[in-house]
Amino acid sequence: MTVRTVSTTPFADQKPGTSGLRKKVIAFQKPHYLENFVQSIFDSIGAPAGSTLTVGGDGRYYNREAIQIILKMAAANGFGRVLVGQGGILSTPAASCVIRKYQTFGGIVLSASHNPGGPDGDFGIKYNIGNGGPAPEKVTEAIFDRSKTITAYRILEAVDVGLDVVGETPLGGMVVQVIDPVSDYADLMETLFDFGAIRALLAGGFRLKFDAMHAVTGPYAKEIIEQRLGAPVGSVMNGVPLTDFGNGHPDPNLTYAHELVEIVYGDNAPDFGAASDGDGDRNMILGRGFFVTPSDSLAVLAANATRVPGYKAGLAGIARSMPTSAAADRVAAALGIPCYETPTGWKFFGNLMDAGRVTLCGEESFGTGSDHVREKDGLWAVLFWLNVLAVRDQSVEAIVREHWAKFGRNVYSRHDYEGLPLEAANELMKHVHDSFPSLPGSQLGSYQVQFCDDFSYTDPVDGSVSTGQGVRIGFTDGSRVVLRLSGTGTEGATLRIYLEAYEPDVSRHHLDAQVALAELIGLALQVTELKARTGRDQPTVIT
**CA-to-CA dists, residue 81 to 360, 366, 538, angstroms:** 32, 34, 51
Beta bridge partners of 178: 84, 167
**How many whole angstroms separate alpha carbon 527 and alpha carbon 233?**
51
The answer to whether the CB of 414 falls within 8 A of the CB of 304 is no
Tally of CA atoms within 13 A in the half-sphere of 25 that contains its CB: 17
Other residues' Cβ atoms within 10 Å of the Cβ of residue 168: 11
| DSSP code, position 542 | E
Sorted by sequence, the CB contacts under 8 Å of residue 253 that are 6+ apart come out as: 284, 366, 541, 543
Catalytically active residues are 113
Helices (H), 77-180: 92-101, 137-147
Torsions phi, psi of 9, nearest 5? -125, 150
**How many whole angstroms separate alpha carbon 279 and alpha carbon 163?**
19
Distance of alpha carbon 323 from the chain centroid = 14
Would the CA dihedral through 527, 533, 535, 539 be positive or negative? negative
Which runs of E-coded beta strand occur in 143-219?
Answer: 152-156, 167-171, 174-179, 208-211
